[in-house]
Structure formats: C-alpha cells, structure tokens
Amino acid sequence: TQLLEQSPQFLSIQEGENLTVYCNSSSVFSSLQWYRQEPGEGPVLLVTVVTGGEVKKLKRLTFQFGDARKDSSLHITAAQPGDTGLYLCAGGRLITGTASKLTFGTGTRLQVTL
Amino acid sequence: ETGVTQTPRHLVMGMTNKKSLKCEQHLGHNAMYWYKQSAKKPLELMFVYSLEERVENNSVPSRFSPECPNSSHLFLHLHTLQPEDSALYLCASSQDLNLGYEQYFGPGTRLTVT
C-alpha cells in the first residue's frame, strides 16, 4: 500500500501568517497533485507537478515536488480566511498501460482567522 | 459548480435497505470514479470506469455494486450496509485515465447507516 502522510494534520493560524504543509511517502509517484476541499463540497484541483524538483506558484501558493518524487510541500504566504479548508495531496501512478490512479494523502485541515 | 452532480446529497438508510447513489458529469469526460471519504481515513478510491468499462475495483465489499450505463452516468448500488460504511461518497470524472489529468469532483453524498 502506498501511503502519503501529510503534516501537520491540523493548523490554526491568523491572517497574514505564512505556513507550509508537507506530503511525504516512501514510494515514488509519477505526478503529484494538490487539492483543496471546502465543507459540503468535493476537492478542487490546485496544481499538478510532474518533474522532480519542480516548483509551481499560484498567487500566494508555492508548490514543490521533491527531487526523488516521493514528497511535496505547499507553502502559503500571508494566509487569508479564504484559504481555510482541507488540503489534500494526491500521488499519481500507472495501473495499466497509460491508465493511472491517484492515492490521496491523509489531509491537512487549515483554519485562518482574522 | 464543477460539472459533476450527485444525488441525493444526504441519505440515511437502515442496514437492510437497498438504495442507489447517482452521479452525472456534463464535461464529456471518459473516466469516472467512486471514492469514500471517512472522518479518520484518507480519501479511498473504490472503483474506476473508463469508457463504461470497470478498470479497477479496489477490494471493495460486494455490498457496494457500481454501474456505468454510459460515459456520463455512474451509479453506486448499496445493499445490506454496515454502520462503518457511513461516510461521504464522492464521484469524480476526468478526461481520460492518463497521468496528470485533473479529476473533477462532485459535492458528494453524505451517507448514514443506522
């Protein structure tokens, strides 16, 4: 079983603070995605990284894929209440030929207060 | 609105009942998925369908029976469930099963088994 451990599990911070969420595995993945899920909704994709060492920025969010493609991090600068939600990493791997499936991480629940 | 709808949004059923969950995607995607999201476990993949053919069954008990009559619709038939089956059941779709394709999730069905 390929496990993706996220840390921290819970994070409560004030508006304006910076934070980093980690996603770690002992397995290699072909791609790594980050999703955010808000209450009463399904997860929504934030980013996909596919190359070891790759860094992508999405406004105040910075995503990095580890060199060995076993881990990833999400850094948020100057957090805002709208960033509140459950953050999920998901590792992609091939199951047959070109078909792939995602293994989701344990999740990090972020709350940003005023 | 992600283009993936699920009905019902909430369902309470007894252990002897038979019910069905419905998912519909309006995105023209070829792949559809069922996931289970429990409070204390990572998001678990249950079934994967590609062009109406089941690609993966992730060791799911037979009391869960999927059906994909066409590429836009996916059902999950439930019978003789257990209280531990109470969870949020999420449907998702993607253009294809290839790596890197974004999965679009529906809002989920919150299932309670009494």
Chain B contacts of A90, Cβ < 8 Å?
43
The tens digit of pLDDT for each residue in B9-30 reads 999 999 988 999 999 999 999 9
Q: Which range, of A1-10, A31-40, A53-62, A71-80, averages the lowest pLDDT?
A: A1-10
Instruction: Give the distance from residue B100's alpha carbon to the nearest chain A alpha carbon, in angstroms.
Output: 7
Higher pLDDT, A11 or B39: A11
Other Cβ atoms closer than 10 A to A93: 15
Quote the percentage of chain B above a pLDDT of 70: 98
Q: Any residues with CB less than 8 A from the CB of A65 and at least 6 apart, and which?
A: A32, A49, A50, A51, A52, A53, A54, A55, A72
Q: Any residues with CB less than 8 A from the CB of A86 and at least 6 apart, and which?
A: A36, A37, A38, A43, A107, A108, A109, A110
Mean pLDDT value of segment B40-62: 86
Q: Do B97 and A100 touch (CB under 8 A)?
A: yes
Which pLDDT belongs to residue A4?
Answer: 93
Instruction: Give the distance from residue A79's alpha carbon to the nearest chain B alpha carbon, in angstroms.
Output: 25
CA dihedral A6, A13, A113, A109 (to 10 degrees): 10
Mutation target to probe the B interface, by most B beta carbons within 10 A, among A30, A101, A103, A109 is A101
Instruction: Give the distance from residue B15's alpha carbon to the nearest chain A alpha carbon, in angstroms.
Output: 25
Interface A-B, measured as beta-carbon pairs within 8 A, has a size of 69
Which pLDDT belongs to residue A25?
Answer: 95
Report the sign of the C-alpha dihedral through residues A65, A47, B105, B48, in that order: negative
Compute CA distances B113 → A86, B9, B14, B70, B82, whole Å: 25, 14, 6, 29, 6
Which pLDDT belongs to residue B100?
Answer: 66
Q: Do A31 and B100 touch (CB under 8 A)?
A: yes
Report the sign of the C-alpha dihedral through residues A26, A30, A35, A41, in that order: negative
The tens digit of pLDDT for each residue in A78-99 reads 999 999 999 999 998 877 766 7
Residue A1 has pLDDT above 70, yes or no: no
Which pLDDT belongs to residue B34?
Answer: 96
Which pLDDT belongs to residue B5?
Answer: 97
Report yes or no: B34 and B70 within 8 Å, Cβ to Cβ.
Answer: no
Residue A26 has pLDDT above 70, yes or no: yes
SS3 A106: coil
Which pLDDT belongs to residue B89?
Answer: 98
Which pLDDT belongs to residue B57?
Answer: 74
Which pLDDT belongs to residue A98?
Answer: 66
Q: Do A101 and B56 touch (CB under 8 A)?
A: yes
Chain A contacts of B44, Cβ < 8 Å?
104
**Chain A residues 50-89 with CB within 8 Å of chain B:** 50, 88
Which pLDDT belongs to residue B93?
Answer: 94
Among A30, A40, A106, select the one facing B42 at the smallest CB separation.
Answer: A106
Give the single-character DSSP code of A85: E
Q: Do A42 and B107 touch (CB under 8 A)?
A: yes
Among A4, A90, A99, select the one facing B55 at the smallest CB separation.
Answer: A99
Residue B101 has pLDDT above 60, yes or no: yes
